[in-house]
Homo-oligomer: A and B are copies of this chain.
């Protein structure tokens, strides 16, 4: 429990691109196509985040870089400048460059759940009304600083490129808006999605992909495909409130399973629940950057989870909208990658990673593919073609990886600055999640703090947060809040966190 935020965050950033000093150029140099200095800078960033060069260590000199990588003085200098600008290095006069010591926020990690062994009880969800109240109240303050959302600010997405691409495609195919039943958009998008899936370890054909209106429709269709009203669905605790709403809207019961802020859902508690209740039809999990906890399931637990669900014939719905926001996505394979029996329904979306305004999601539903296709067709027909064509073209270009790389880099900086601000201003006793990517931070306030009171007080001061109560059908997280770091940290945000800290104290 004494783990520090930063140490924990950095531990997630290990990778396999290590090199020895005898390398001329690192073997697996990242980002082919980028300028050489960018690729070398990224190489050294990885050397630092992996801990090979630790904070305070001296960086190899300009001369060493020139010799080691056989690059020019100007390239070597650019590498140093890039790393200094990004905050990884610090120049000391007459001594050279050193790996920067980052101020540790000194907050302990959010507590592990008390009792992971008891399976608890399944309940119909009665949360919609209170979630709606929270959303409606927030909508009364449209100008509030939004620290409660799950997407980054528009400035962090490729706004101009997507705009230009949309205009170009619409010029090329003017009848996109007025022609009926075109599936050309769908076909290219499904192919782009299938190609992308391949690089994450998931083998799926374009025909096995069903395009949806965002990730929410994907999870909705998945649950409709595998359950009937009255059935029980196992979920994480805390869980994304959207999943709780879907469960409520379909007349299902939710069984909340203890979930660790570091390793995700408790396999042990889940196994006990499967044995205790015969009527669990599905499990919904967010294996990467779980919302709101921020945790990632380790590989061995993923394998175990897929096996357990297959054994108990429980549909495993993998809600996976954040994976591309991981600092090191290549190290995290979707559950679907281990699915041998078609029992995993993988739901993904572009909402958080590329274009929150486009409402594009998709799913590959394993052995429920035909049923999901039928439900989607009868629920809302095919998605419109234009946005699918735009997304397909963008995803098929190098621009997508460059965008994701920049987005991740910015989120690291923003997340660390936000965690530091919370550590500075929040009441003593506050605990914090340590996500290895994304925009979300899960904050445990001192026991007895009323997160709904805090939510209302913050709104009145122009700050929007998400109260912990909307993430569970119980009151278990009443003293938690979900915060986010959607934009570059600046004085405005610093002021906002200072005010939030004061209000958190008052809400105790």
Partner-B contacts on A (CB < 8 A): 128, 132, 139, 149, 151, 154, 157-160, 162-163, 166-167, 170-171, 174-183, 212-214, 216-217, 220, 224, 228-229, 242, 245-246, 248-249, 251, 351, 355-359, 374-375, 377-387, 390
Contact = CB atoms under 8 A, between A and B. Distances in A.
B377 A245 contact: yes
Contact of A374 (B174, B249, B358, B384): B249
Contact of A357 (B128, B380, B385): B385
A128 B378 contact: yes
A381 B178 contact: no
A190 to B, nearest CB: 14
Contacts of A158: 178
Given A213-B380, A378-B249, A177 B162 contact: yes
Given A214-B380, A357-B385, A177 B166 contact: yes
Contacts of A382: 359
Contact of A216 (B162, B359, B381): B381
A357 B159 CA distance: 23
Given A216-B378, A249-B375, A178 B154 contact: yes
Contacts of A359: 380-384
Contact of A378 (B163, B178, B248, B379): B248
A32 to B, nearest CB: 26
From A181, A378, A382, residue with most partner B Cβ within 10 Å: A378
A213 B381 contact: yes
Nearest to A218: B380
B228 A182 contact: no
B149 A178 contact: no
Contact of A178 (B159, B176, B375, B386): B159
Nearest to A352: B180
A146 to B, nearest CB: 8
Nearest to A185: B357
A66 to B, nearest CB: 40
A356 B224 CA distance: 27
B379 A181 contact: no
A177 B355 contact: yes
B128 A154 contact: no
Contact of A154 (B160, B179, B245, B357): B179
Nearest to A248: B378
B379 A180 contact: no
9 contacts: A149-B180, A151-B181, A154-B180, A160-B174, A182-B357, A216-B378, A216-B379, A220-B380, A228-B229
Nearest to A219: B378
Contacts of A375: 249
A139 B139 CA distance: 44
A480 to B, nearest CB: 22
From A128, A160, A183, residue with most partner B Cβ within 10 Å: A128
A162 B149 contact: no
Given A132-B374, A166-B170, A374-B132, A181 B381 contact: no
A180 B356 contact: yes
Contact of A217 (B182, B242, B358, B379): B379
A178 B355 contact: yes
A380 to B, nearest CB: 4
Contacts of A176: 357
Contacts of A249: 224, 374-375, 378-379
A182 B356 CA distance: 9
Given A178-B357, A229-B229, 4 more contacts: A177-B390, A178-B356, A248-B378, A359-B381
Contacts of A217: 379-381
Nearest to A213: B380
Given A251-B228, A378-B245, A381-B214, A177 B159 contact: yes
Contacts of A212: 380
A378 B180 contact: no
4 interchain residue pairs of minimum CB distance: A180-B356, A157-B178, A213-B380, A151-B180
Nearest to A382: B359
